[in-house]
Structure formats: C-alpha cells, structure tokens
Amino acid sequence: MQSLSRKNYSNEFVSKFKGDESGDLSPRQTPGVLYSKAIPTPVPQPHLIAWTEDFAQELGISTPNEDDLAVLAGNKVTSSMQPYAACYAGHQFGNWAGQLGDGRAITLGEWESQGKNWELQLKGVGPTPYSRRADGRAVLRSSVREYLMSEAMHHLGVPTTRALSLVSSGEEILRDMFYNGNPEYEPGAIVMRTSPSFLRFGNFEILAARHEIDNLQKLVNWTIDEFYPHLTGENRIISWYKEVIQKTASLMVEWQRVGFVHGVMNTDNMSILGLTIDYGPFSFIDDYNPGFTPNTTDLPGRRYAFGNQPSVGYWNLGKLGNALLPLFEKPDELEEAMQTYEETFWRKYYEMMANKLGLDNVEKDDLTLVAQFEKVLSSLNPDMTIFYQLLTYLPKDLLEEESILDYFNDSFYEIPTGNGRKSFFDLIQKYQDRLKQNSISEEESRERMEKANPRFVLRNYLLHQAIEELEKGESSLFEKLRVALKDPYSKNHDEFFKKRPDWANDKAGCSMLSCSS
C-alpha cells in the first residue's frame, strides 16, 4: 500500500503531447495544445467525508493521512505530479459548441497499479483556462451525487469511472441551481474520480475542427497503443473505431437495463472507453417513461430522454467518425463501421431483455412480446425497478386478472383501469405462456432475472435527502446508501424498496436538475 502524498506518479499523457505550460489560469482559447498546466487552488478547511476503501485497496492506496487529505483537497501537489486540464470540444444538445475543456477538473497524474495506469482527477478544485466564466468549484450537492452514483453504477455492473474520495472544502459557493436567476450559497466539496482515461469524443473533435491533423493522428495512435493494444496492422484505426462503436452500444444497453438516464449526452461527455462519465443531472427512472429527462436544460425538446439514449449514442458516434475523416482517404470505411452500431445494439438489447424476463433467448417469435412489454409499461408507467422485481418472483399459480393486478399493485403509481387493466393482464398472460416454452429450468430463469434486475437503485429523492442531511452535519442516510449501493441485487436493503413518494414529484432536486447539478 502506498500513500497518495508519497507516490511517484506517472505522467504519460503530459509527456506525449504538447501542452500550455504557462500555468496561466485565465479563460482563453488554446490552439495547438491538448492540455494546459493547471495548479489546484487551495481550500480553507478540507474535511474527508468519504473514502472508497475497497477500491483504494484494489489500487494499493493507503488510508489517507493529513498529507494525503491535502492532496485530495487540491491543497498539495507533489513533486512528481504534473497537474493539467484537458482541452476538448463538443456538440452540446446537437449544436457545435467549439472549445470546452476541463472547466472544473484537474488531473494530478497517473497511479500505476498491477501494470495499469489510473488517472487521478480532482473535480471542483478551482479555475482552469477552460472554466470560461465559472469559478471551477463544485458544491456538496453535485459532488455527493457524482461520488455515490459512480460507485452505484460500478456495483450494478455498468461501465463507469470511479470515485475515491469526497472532501468538503470549508467554503461557500454561489450557485444558481436551475439557471432561473435565484443563486444561493452552498457548501463546497471536491471529488477525486479515477479512470484509466478521461478521453472523450470531444478530445478528437477539437483537433479535427482546428485542422491539427498531426495532433489528431498522434492522439489516435496513442489511444490505441495505450487502451486497445490488441489492435495491430494498417487497418487498426478503423478496427478501433468499430470497438468504440461496440462499447458505446453496449453501454447504451446497460443504461436501458437498469433505467439510468444520463441527462446530458453531449459528445464531450462520451467516453472513448465506453464508460459512463461526467455525472450531472442524471436520474434513474422511477415510473417507466421513455420520455423522461432529468435535465431542465433539456426541455422542452427532451433530446436526452431515457428512450432516446440509444439513438443519441449513434449520433454522437457519427460526430466522432466525422472527426476521424481526415485520417482516411475516403469516408466509406467509417460509414460501413457506423452501420455495425444498430446490429450490435439490438443483439445486445435482446440478450439483455431475455435476462430481464428470464427467457432462454429472444427468438423472432418473441420480438412481439418484448415490444408489448415496452408498449404496456410506457402507457401504464409502473415503477420500473419494483415491476421487474415483482416479475422476477411472479408466482406460477397467479392466473386470474384480479390476483395478478393485486400482486403488481405496489409497482403502480396509478392503478390501471379499463383498457389499461386489460392490456396489462393480457401481457402477463402471454409472458406466463412464454415461460412454459423455456428450455432452461425455473431456477436458471430466476437466477438470470435476479442478476439482471436490480432491487436497489440510487433514486434522486434518496440522494436529495442524504444531501440535505449532510448539509446539516448528519451522515446516517449517506452511510446507509453507501452500504446499499454495494449490494443492489439482494433483499438486504429493502427499507429502500419503495416507490418515489408523492412529496418528491415536484420537489427541487428530486425529479429534475440543471446541467450545473
């Protein structure tokens, strides 16, 4: 085990690419470089709120001492660190936004563990050249959300960046939570997040937009060498692009499986490694509504709504492909690669749905049943998590309409009536008939469902309650959630196995948030 403050850090990215080494933190365009040197701005009274001990042990990082806490707060930069903010661009809500970059994140260096490098990045440690008009800080509210949700997604089995620590800064930060002209002071906080790489589609887009083709070629080659080393030969760039497509399609399926809505799927928030990255106005869906977006900035168009995520993933990959065009004589190969997205997504989607429904597989004859589930759930809006849990343990002897409706009663926010009641009963009947045709045992069917359908998800109202308590100096709910999120498929935390309460429907922070969240 090694200390954060005594480790000899690697700096592979900084050593391989051009950067602005001036240390000037004033907002500006930075053509010709892939990053800018950025030293964290110290905070007055750092206090460790949470430390991810199990993950730290995996990486060989010892429990923080006072010097380590200074590192986690951005108050200490060791001699081997070369802190920087990355330069990238992006398409935001479908429109080209130009240069963006790490506006409130600074990468300290790379931690080597078992032959693998992990970037250690602090979020909320002050301005960088890419902060534009912002202060580079983060509030407790958004920091708690990122810390808990990134760990929750990991334990759900969804590819994601990780979080090592959550530190309060001892200062008050002015934030307009909903961009509605009502700013308030909130307690500040800092998250240390980690990933093999925080490279996103936008890192490549900025180089293509600036016609820095040499830098683009170099970044692509380095990305493949570092993270896709199995790809070799003269066609390895197109092979790499295909893998990014496959990873992105797989990620979209995983989000659909657990009911996660990212909320701001701009190309600058799309990981080149197929990870969930940049947790902002996210949410799990409570009532099943494909049109739900948790992001007030996404209204009224709902571009990033739950049901739109797979198509947005495809659109974003197209923008990455456009950025790679200068490396190809003709666009044909890139266009052909893009055509693999749909096949990959639907194949993985139906595999996922087979597991959620406990089927041996989804054959052509089953497509209608899967589509019927989507149609009925979308019209009746039961709680997604609770519905699939009840479906997992559906008794074989429930055959009558009344008994089936009663059994699923706890999943409904509004009890079905009329045609809705009939369509739900018809769906469950057809599902029960299909289960009888399974080539796998009842035990294996249930095991598949138990592994695919989480029983605990980190709902927005729970996060909101935990944040409110932390702001008052109370951490009991926060700690309970930390325990529960590590065990999301068991019945060990059924105090949280309940629908979103009525009071949370319209309460700020419980249903929708802004991009600043």
| Cis peptide, bond prior to residue 300, ω within 30 of zero | yes
| Cα 387 to Cα 273: distance, rounded to the nearest angstrom | 32
| Cα 241 to Cα 223: distance, rounded to the nearest angstrom | 11
| Cα 485 to Cα 176: distance, rounded to the nearest angstrom | 29
Phi and psi at 57, nearest 5°, equal -65, -40
Residue with tokens 């199990």: 54
3-state secondary structure of 310: helix
Residue with tokens 């407790």: 140
Phi and psi at 222, nearest 5°, equal -65, -40
| Cα 155 to Cα 439: distance, rounded to the nearest angstrom | 30
What's 61's DSSP letter? B
**Residue 67 annotated as catalytic:** no
DSSP-assigned letters across all residues of 441-493: -HHHHHHHHHHHS-S----HHHHHHHHHHHHTT--HHHHHHHHHTT-TTSSTT
DSSP-assigned letters across all residues of 66-97: HHHHHHHTTS---TT---EEE--EEEETTEEE
Phi and psi at 101, nearest 5°, equal 90, 170
Annotated ligand binding at 397? The verdict is no
- Class of residue 360 by CB neighbours under 10 A (exposed 0-12, middle 13-18, buried 19+): middle
Quick one: how far is CA 134 from the chain centroid? 23
Quick one: how far is CA 502 from the chain centroid? 27
Annotated ligand binding at 278? The verdict is yes
User: Token pair of 76, please?
Assistant: 């200490």
What's 41's DSSP letter? P
Annotated ligand binding at 115? The verdict is no
User: Token pair of 410, please?
Assistant: 């706890």
In angstroms, the Cα distances linking 294 to 152, 186, 263, 280, 500 are 18, 21, 6, 10, 14
| Cα 219 to Cα 178: distance, rounded to the nearest angstrom | 37
Annotated ligand binding at 430? The verdict is no
Annotated ligand binding at 193? The verdict is yes
3-state secondary structure of 299: coil
Which element (helix H / strand E) includes 99? strand 95-99
Phi and psi at 393, nearest 5°, equal -110, 30
Our CA angle for 474, 480, 486, nearest 5°, is 140
Annotated ligand binding at 109? The verdict is no
Q: Which of 268, 286, 298, 366 is catalytic?
A: 268
Annotated ligand binding at 494? The verdict is no
Annotated ligand binding at 104? The verdict is yes
Annotated ligand binding at 135? The verdict is yes
Q: How many helices (H) and strands (E) does the chain have?
A: 17, 12
Annotated ligand binding at 200? The verdict is yes
| Cα 377 to Cα 383: distance, rounded to the nearest angstrom | 9
State which amino acid sits at residue 303: R
Are 76 and 125 in contact by the 8 Å Cβ rule? The answer is no
Numbered residues of the known binding site for ATP: 101, 103-104, 123, 135-136, 193, 200, 278
Active-site residue set: 268
Numbered residues of the known binding site: 101, 103-104, 123, 135-136, 193, 200, 269, 278
Numbered residues of the known binding site for Mg(2+): 269, 278
